[in-house]
Structure 1
Amino acid sequence: MIYLVLSILISSSLYVIFKLFERFKVDTFQAIVVNYIVAFSIGYLYSPVKLPIQEIPSQSWFLGACFLGFLFITIFNLMALTSQRNGLSVASVSGRMAVVIPIIFGVILYNESVTIVKVIGILLALVAVYLTSVKENSKTIEGSSLLFPVLLFLGSGAIDTLLKFTEVNHVSSENVSIFSASIFGIAFVLGIIYFLYQLLFQNGKNINIKNIIAGIALGVPNYFSIEFLIRALKIEGFDSAILFTINNVSIVLLTTIAGLFLFKEKLEDRNWIGIAIAVFSIILITMV
């Protein structure tokens, strides 16, 4: 249970950190790149399995880690943009509602049961993303208001689906840390390639000490948010549906509270309704 509690607290803090990046004028992309080398280093040193780096590509989970690394750096940037442009509650709900996507793939790939209640839950989740994302003063609903939350929703769902598939089929308990570290390491390599491209061909900014410090502050909780979640999923006798319910609902509520009290975010009635529907839909989807 302690792993689940830690995962909730740390995952919620990531949204807050991204919001602070905006306040302190941190270059989000540069901080994210630094964050991944920090997360990789922690995971590699922390891992009980001392696997040489050159042997990582030969592991059965390596291909999954490559796809996840690409998704991580892409969706992490989307999470930051959504937190900064739409608010913490919007980013949180969009990311957490993505639990519907692995459920859909479970039905398609593994012939898992589908009920009318689950279908209602999925539809409610989509409604929740819309209601929490749209503000009355938004002039371009399909542009700045809705685009980032929808992309975050789809990308987070892809991560959850692939992470669960790879973890179940290829990752043993002793390999959790090295698997997590490898995902972050691949994300770092991809980030460095794009950073160099920006620097050489798009007049990108040189990295500075502020962005490095911000990346370190992000990398430590980022690594452990994944580590603790995977370890919580491996607890014997702890139903994963209940685990995901507690995890997702708690993160939605904590980040909403943080947005209200730390950043004075304003929520309209429709946004509150969306948050309430989000919590209810997660319960419907994962508990039935």
Structure 2
Amino acid sequence: MIYIILSIFCSVTVAVLLKLAKRYQISIIQAVSINYLTALILCFLFFKPDVSLLNPSAPWPIYIALAVLLPVIFLFLAASVKNLGIVKTDIAQRLSLFIPILAAYFIFKEDFNQLKFIGIAVGFLAIILTFFRKTEHKSKSNNWIYPIMVFIGFGVIDVLFKQIALYKELPYTTSLFVVFCLAFLVSLIIVTIMVVGRKTKIQLVNIGCGLILGLFNFGNILFYLKAHRAFSANPSTVFTAMNLGVIIAGTLIGIVVFKEKLSQLNYIGIVLAICAVILITLSQLNAV
């Protein structure tokens, strides 16, 4: 259980760091770039990926798609935390699990039971209620687009990672290393273009933030994988505890520490989000 707790802690800490980035005038794209450099170094040290196994038949299109999506969605994640707070952003990220579930039904023709259909319906209702807010200023009327992009982006990323996991010719950790490497290159290109265009300046504070961000981002992945190994006979335990833990911890920190304001409908949405995760988990248990 300690691995699940550590994974939840790392995941929520990433959101907290992104929330603090505005206060300390951190360049998110610079921090994201260093974050992936840190993650790939840690991936090399902990997982010892065998890059000699890479060949032209490896799933390079998926690697490249992930390399572009990861830094881009990270920017949307930061914008969502900045504009709508940790609570709504964490729920958007966690409920993105419905994207691969829908892909399993419509693309991979997986059989669904009644509980899973109910869970999906409750989940989408939760999304609507959680993101609902009264428009205070016209300039903020499009803020909902950030968590929606987080929802879609992380869902698509999950589907792509699942496709990599199905590629048995390469160890998953080697593919993960390649994705981190390419994601770092993509984010580095973006930073270089911005520096040349004088839209940003390289600062040590951004590098420091990126190192910390990368440490917790990788820690989330490392402890999540360790938790699945520890509970290999019951993966739904990890799935449920992780998703519920992040939603609850993120909500408490957002409300107590950052004084984020939520409406009654938002609170109902949070409760429904928790119910949706439980229903999806129960549906998976019944399918076994």
RMSD between aligned residues: 2.4
Q: 1:187 aligns with which of 164, 183, 187?
A: 183
Q: Distance in 1 between matches of 2:219 and 2:165?
A: 16
Q: 1:213 aligns with which of 205, 208, 211?
A: 208
Q: Distance in 2 between matches of 1:148 and 1:259?
A: 17
CA distances 1:134-179 after superposition (whole Å, capped 9, x unpaired): 223445599433111111101111111121221233376xx44433
Structure 2: which 5+ runs fail to align? Answer: 284-288
Q: Which residue is 2:276 aligned to?
A: 281
Q: 1:21 to 1:37 in 2, by over 3 A?
A: same
SS in 1 for 2:110: coil
Percent identity, please.
Answer: 27
CA distances 1:76-109 after superposition (whole Å, capped 9, x unpaired): 1111110110010010010100111111112234
1:32-111 matches, within 5 Å, as: 32-51=32-51, 56=54, 58=56, 60-111=58-109
CA distances 1:232-278 after superposition (whole Å, capped 9, x unpaired): 44556433334222211110111111112221212221111111111
CA distances 1:106-140 after superposition (whole Å, capped 9, x unpaired): 22343322133322322222222222222234455
Query: 2:115·2:282 contact (CA, 8 Å) conserved in 1?
Result: no
Structure 1: which 5+ runs fail to align? Answer: none
Paired residues in the alignment total 283
1:143-158 matches, within 5 Å, as: 143-158=141-156
1:202-241 matches, within 5 Å, as: 202-234=197-229, 237-241=232-236
SS in 1 for 2:275: helix
Q: Distance in 1 between matches of 2:4 and 2:32?
A: 24
Q: Which residue is 1:22 aligned to?
A: 22
Range with greater deviation from structure 2 (33-42 or 88-97):
33-42
Q: Which residue is 1:131 aligned to?
A: 129
Query: 1:60·1:170 contact (CA, 8 Å) conserved in 2?
Result: no
TM-score, with structure 1 as normaliser: 0.88
SS in 2 for 1:23: coil
SS in 2 for 1:144: coil
Query: 1:129·1:149 contact (CA, 8 Å) conserved in 2?
Result: no
Query: 2:10·2:216 contact (CA, 8 Å) conserved in 1?
Result: yes
Q: 1:112 to 1:140 in 2, by over 3 A?
A: farther
Q: Distance in 1 between matches of 2:84 and 2:182?
A: 29
Q: Distance in 2 between matches of 1:68 and 1:14?
A: 19
Q: Distance in 1 between matches of 2:82 and 2:213?
A: 15
Q: Distance in 1 between matches of 2:158 and 2:261?
A: 30
Query: 1:132·1:274 contact (CA, 8 Å) conserved in 2?
Result: yes
Q: Distance in 2 between matches of 1:190 and 1:82?
A: 21
Q: Distance in 2 between matches of 1:157 and 1:274?
A: 19
Query: 1:42·1:181 contact (CA, 8 Å) conserved in 2?
Result: no
Query: 1:75·1:156 contact (CA, 8 Å) conserved in 2?
Result: yes
Query: 1:8·1:247 contact (CA, 8 Å) conserved in 2?
Result: yes
Q: 1:171 to 1:26 in 2, by over 3 A?
A: farther
Q: Distance in 2 between matches of 1:89 and 1:171?
A: 39
Q: Distance in 2 between matches of 1:209 and 1:142?
A: 31
TM-score, with structure 2 as normaliser: 0.88
Q: Distance in 2 between matches of 1:29 and 1:48?
A: 28
Give 1:189's aligned amino acid.
L
